[in-house]
Amino acid sequence: MTETQTANKATTQKLPSVFITGTDTGVGKTVLAALLGLIYQEAGLNVAYFKPVETGAAANNGELVPGDTQFVAAVLGLNEPIDVLCPYCYEPPVSPHLAARLARKPVKPEVVEKCFNYLDRHYDAVIVEGTGGLLVPLRDGYMVADVAGSLGLPLIIAAHPGLGTLNHTFLTIASALRVDLALAGVVLGRYPENPGPAAKDNPKAIADFSGVPVLALVPEIPGLDLTRPQHALLKEAALKLNALYRLDEALAKLAPEETADVQS
């Protein structure tokens, strides 16, 4: 290892793999995953993205393309087979348990864990995005919460900023605590430039009533198109977000302690 490589390794910030869940659909989980991945890259980490199950995929030349997975993979420059980054991809925009039943392709927990373990071995950190919320069923007896529990990662809850989010967020927090998931915090996505009374109060209300910190308020990104990997636009947004909320510092506190290598 050269002196430059040694210096870079010494200054690389240790950040944990995380699991992003939502209080609902359309709360900005995919954009948050891309932004976090870019923040991790800026910290010097080789980071992967993993979405175990995606529905609503588009058919292209007879093959299904998981749009969220393809988008984040392109933004982060990942060169992995798409079926490793997203092992279960379905066309109908319905709950995964129903999509899997219609496709006659059931979700297998061992496949999900195998793909994650591969990425975990080959990357410094993995940003995992769940499908919908924690209680979304993937198959009989297997929900998104079970995936999060099996992977053992800190949980980031992505939530709407406005009216109704308190109940949805508190229910998600309660569900996470019931199965002993470690909570990293809440992120309010698609936060408006001119928030109304509810959106203004919600960050403090969530923290005060639940004891779970609100890590960041992610604003709407003008011009963002999820069908195109707009790297420069997202990189600028990620750097601004991290400068404002120091997400890297907050998440670094959750990183597992490194153990010394054992010389044989």
- End-to-end CA, the chain: 21
Annotated catalytic residue within 51, 108, 240, 253: 51
- d(Cα 194, Cα 183) in Å, to the nearest integer? 29
- d(Cα 51, Cα 86) in Å, to the nearest integer? 5
Give the angle 218-186-108 at the CA atoms, nearest 5°. Answer: 105
Are 161 and 189 in contact by the 8 Å Cβ rule? The answer is yes
Q: Is 51 known to be catalytic?
A: yes
Residue type, 177: L
Strand stretches in the chain, DSSP E: 18-22, 47-50, 53-54, 58-60, 63-65, 88-89, 125-129, 137-139, 142-143, 155-159, 183-191, 214-219
Of residues 106, 66, 71, the one with CA closest to residue 86: 66
Name the phi and psi angles at 126, rounded to 5.
-130, 125
Q: Is 151 exposed, middle or buried, given 0-12, 13-18 or 19+ CB atoms closer than 10 A?
A: buried
Q: Which residues are catalytic?
A: 51
